[in-house]
Amino acid sequence: MESCALVLPKERCSSPRGAARKPPLTKTRQKRAPVLNNLQVLSRRTPKGNRLILTCEHGGNRIPSAYADLFSKAGAELTSHRGYDPGALDLAKALGSALRAPLVFSTVSRLLVELNRTARHPALFSEFTRGLTPAEKDKLLRRYYWPHWRMIESLIAESLAQGMRVTHIGVHTFTPVLHGVERTADIGLLYDPARPREKAFCVRWQEALRKSGLELRVRRNDPYRGAADGLTTHLRRHFGSSRYIGVELEVNNRFAVDDAPTWRAIQRAITQSLDSLL
């Protein structure tokens, strides 16, 4: 399994049922076709000229076999919120499918390498991987970290080059209780307060979610600050505020873990509210 994956939305079939299908592309053509070309064909460009791009940095808790020994005593850490964001990848895939948006996601554990920190951040490596040699760390980054970052950078640059504006949503979940303190938010929308378009987008999203009828406690820049170190903050430095909106969506993972009917309803509410803003 690849460490960094890109899921493009499925092409909608416009031909009537039973109509002759186009012959499949030859293997050679499939190999040669740059994946980013499919972005233009398959993903949605809204009437306002926006493209939604999704990422999921903490989609799984997989430890590649080459690093299994480092985690022999990890125990429950790997299956807890420290290992990954429970439910985040399900939500990201549901959003991508419903809204025809490309999704870049990773399924290796954040305890192997933290994809939502810049490469110089002290929390890039966990207590399990901090002791690796510089060469081993570099190898780990090249295999599991940089592909994810470069893929999202390419997708955004490609969309901007096509004359679109980009709304990038990083999909996350958070633990209901951290260090003994209960979090009071159900959904957090994280943005940079210094970027007015991001703030306006999150104010509108908050209102749209409140109208869902689910009585969700939707907060802005809670439980984390949107401008803190991470992938989205890095992308803001590269892409101007007039054409790039970067928001991190944080959902309380108690829904994903404990309450399947509510979790499905929340996924629908997030999908519909986000769709109304694009």
Which residues make up the interface to Zn ion (CB under 5 A)? 58, 85, 172
Calculate helix-pair angle for 260-277, 88-99, nearest 10 degrees: 40
Instruction: Tell the smallest beta-carbon distance from residue 170 to Zn ion (Å).
Output: 8
Per-residue burial over 8-41, b if 16 or more Cβ lie within 10 Å, else e, is: bbeeeeeeeeeeeeeeeeeeeeeeeeeebeebee
Q: How far apart are CA 248 and CA 270, in angstroms?
A: 13
Supply the DSSP symbol for 224. Answer: S
Facing residues of 249 across strands? Answer: 171, 189
Nearest approach, Cβ of residue 116 and Zn ion (Å): 6
β partners of residue 4 = 106
Residue nearest to Zn ion (CB): 172
Nearer to Zn ion (CB atom), residue 6 or residue 89: 89
For residue 49, the minimal CB distance to Zn ion (Å) is 29
Phi first, then psi, for residue 93 (nearest 5°) are -65, -40
SS3 158: helix
Nearer to Zn ion, 58 or 236 (CB): 58
CB closer to Zn ion, 85 vs 192: 85
To Zn ion, the closest distance from the beta carbon of 58 in angstroms equals 4
Q: How far is the CB of 249 from Zn ion (least distance, A)?
A: 10
Q: Is 43 or 55 the residue whose CB approaches Zn ion more closely? A: 55
Q: Which is nearer to Zn ion, 88 or 209 (CB)?
A: 88
